[in-house]
């Protein structure tokens, strides 16, 4: 939900442009009684439902369909709340930035807790993925404060693209929850995906740290004193 802020939003994901047009179209058609806060809360509840459905799928695989539906609802709430505030000129910069990202952290924690309990992802992999996500989130928040730019995507991937990948992976679980890696053996699909995602997040973290350090060093060069 970034309602609005003094920082610049850098969003260059694959679907950013068509998604923005769709969100503006939706925002103009929402009932007046629905606010950005309602959408933010809806997004959080959806992530909790997705996490609970993952855990339930350990005994009832049909719950995976609930996960996919909940991810769609999460996209609706999380992606639309900021757009709604801007369309209605009801921006609250600091409030929106803070509340949105605090709840994002809570939401991803609920989701990965559910995955850790589902049997589809080893708890250690889920924990590693959560730690990697939190490290990247912390770097993004610090970079926003230092540079004035809030980066929302990396190598063409943003929240929407990641939701789509997760939904496709969840759909695949209904068939075969394992993947054959040839000579390396057969592993759980979400363990492989979680490991790749963790490595990708860590690469994004290191890339951002190096780039931001160089940029800030140029803006504030070291001054030697005699």
In this structure, is residue 224 part of a structural domain? no
As a whole number of angstroms, the distance between CA 7 and CA 150 comes to 6
pLDDT at 180: 84
Q: What is the pLDDT of residues 118-162, one digit of tens each?
A: 999 999 999 999 999 999 999 999 988 888 877 777 777 788 889
What's the pLDDT score for residue 1?
Answer: 41
Band of residue 30 on the pLDDT scale cut at 50, 70, 90: very high
User: What distance in Å separates the CA atoms of residue 7 and residue 5, rounded to the nearest whole number?
Assistant: 5
* Domain assignment present for 73: yes
Say if 106 falls within a structural domain: yes
Domain presence at residue 2: no
Q: Specify the pLDDT at position 207.
A: 93
pLDDT (tens digit, 9 = 90+) per residue, 31-75? 989 999 999 999 999 999 999 999 999 999 999 999 999 999 999
The reported pLDDT for the residue numbered 4 is: 42
DSSP state of 151: E
pLDDT for the residue 126: 96
CA distance 177 to 57: 12
Q: Write the CATH number for 135.
A: 1.20.120.1760
- What pLDDT is attached to residue 176? 81
Which one is predicted more confidently, 43 or 175?
43
In this prediction, residue 52 carries a pLDDT of: 97
Residue 1 lies in a domain: no
Nearest CA to 50 out of 212, 180, 169, 136 is that of 169
Does residue 100 lie within any of the structural domains?
yes
Total domains in the chain come to 1
Q: What is the pLDDT of residue 225?
A: 62
Domain ranges, residue 93:
8-219
Does residue 38 form part of some domain?
A: yes
- What is the structure's pLDDT at 2? 41
pLDDT digits (tens, 9 = 90+) for 74-109: 999 998 988 898 898 888 888 888 998 999 999 999
Does 78 fall in a domain? Answer: yes
- The pLDDT assigned to 10 comes to 65
- What pLDDT, on the 0 to 100 scale, is given for residue 221? 84
The token duo for 193 is: 């995906």
């Amino acid at each position: 939900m970034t309602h609005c802020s003094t920082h610049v939003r850098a969003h260059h994901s694959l679907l950013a442009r068509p998604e923005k047009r769709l969100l503006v179209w939706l925002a103009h058609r929402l009932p007046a009684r629905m606010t950005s806060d309602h959408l933010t809360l809806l997004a959080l509840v959806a992530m909790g439902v997705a996490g609970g459905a993952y855990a339930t799928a350990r005994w009832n695989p049909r719950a995976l369909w609930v996960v996919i539906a909940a991810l769609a609802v999460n996209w609706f709430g999380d992606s639309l709340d900021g757009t709604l505030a801007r369309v209605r000129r009801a921006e609250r910069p600091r409030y929106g930035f803070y509340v949105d990202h605090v709840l994002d952290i809570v939401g991803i924690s609920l989701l990965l807790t559910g995955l850790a309990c589902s049997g589809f992802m080893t708890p250690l992999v889920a924990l590693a993925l959560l730690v990697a996500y939190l490290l990247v989130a912390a770097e993004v928040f610090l970079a926003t404060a230092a540079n004035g730019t809030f980066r929302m995507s990396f190598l063409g991937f943003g929240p929407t693209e990641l939701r789509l990948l997760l939904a496709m992976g969840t759909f695949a679980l209904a068939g075969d929850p394992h993947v054959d890696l040839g000579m390396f053996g057969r592993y759980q699909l979400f363990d492989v995906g979680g490991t790749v995602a963790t490595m990708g997040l860590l690469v994004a973290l290191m890339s951002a740290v190096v780039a931001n350090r160089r940029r800030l060093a140029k803006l504030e060069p070291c001054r030697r004193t005699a």
